[in-house]
Copies of this chain bind each other. A is one copy, B any other.
Amino acid sequence: MTKDDLLIIDALQYVNWNRELFEQAREGGVDAIHVTIAYWENFAEVEANIAQWDRHFEECGDLVMPVRQAEDIDAARAAGKTGIILGFQNCSPVEDDLHNVERLHAMGVRIMQLSYNNQSLLATGCYEDDDAGITRFGREAIKEMNRVGMLIDMSHSAEKSTLQAIEYSQRPIAITHANPSSFHEALRNKSDTVLRALAESGGMLGVSLYPFHLRGGSDCKREDFCQMVYDAANLMGVERVGIGSDLCQNWGYETLEWMRSGKWTFRPDYGEGSAANADWPRQPDWFRDSRDFMNIAEGLRETGFSDEEVRKVMGLNWLEFFRDAFAPASSVGA
Contact = CB atoms under 8 A, between A and B. Distances in A.
A22 interface: no
A131 B129 CA distance: 12
B136 A119 contact: yes
Nearest to A122: B119
A135 B140 contact: no
Interface in A99-155: 99, 118-121, 124, 127-133, 135-138, 140, 144
A263 B99 contact: yes
A96 interface: yes
Nearest to A120: B121
B135 A128 contact: yes
A263 B40 CA distance: 20
B119 A128 contact: no
A33 B58 CA distance: 57
Contacts of A99: 263
Contact of A96 (B40, B130, B132, B140): B40
Given A120-B121, A121-B119, A265 B136 contact: yes
A124 B40 CA distance: 20
Interface in A52-90: none
Contact of A42 (B96, B132, B138, B266): B96
A279 interface: no
Contacts of A253: none
12 contacts: A92-B96, A96-B264, A118-B121, A119-B121, A119-B136, A119-B138, A120-B121, A121-B121, A124-B132, A127-B136, A128-B136, A136-B265
A296 interface: no
A1 to B, nearest CB: 45
- Chain A, interface size: which category? 20 to 34
Contacts of A121: 118-121, 264
A105 to B, nearest CB: 15
B42 A265 contact: no
Contacts of A92: 96
Q: Which A-B residue pairs are the 9 nearest by beta carbons?
A: A130-B132, A132-B132, A119-B135, A137-B264, A97-B263, A140-B265, A118-B136, A96-B263, A130-B133
A263 to B, nearest CB: 4
A229 to B, nearest CB: 32
Contacts of A96: 40, 42, 92, 262-264
A98 interface: yes
A138 B70 CA distance: 40
B264 A140 contact: yes
Given A96-B264, A137-B265, 18 more contacts: A40-B96, A42-B95, A42-B96, A95-B95, A97-B264, A118-B121, A118-B135, A118-B136, A119-B132, A119-B136, A121-B121, A128-B136, A130-B132, A131-B132, A132-B132, A136-B265, A137-B264, A140-B265
A130 B266 CA distance: 28
A312 to B, nearest CB: 38
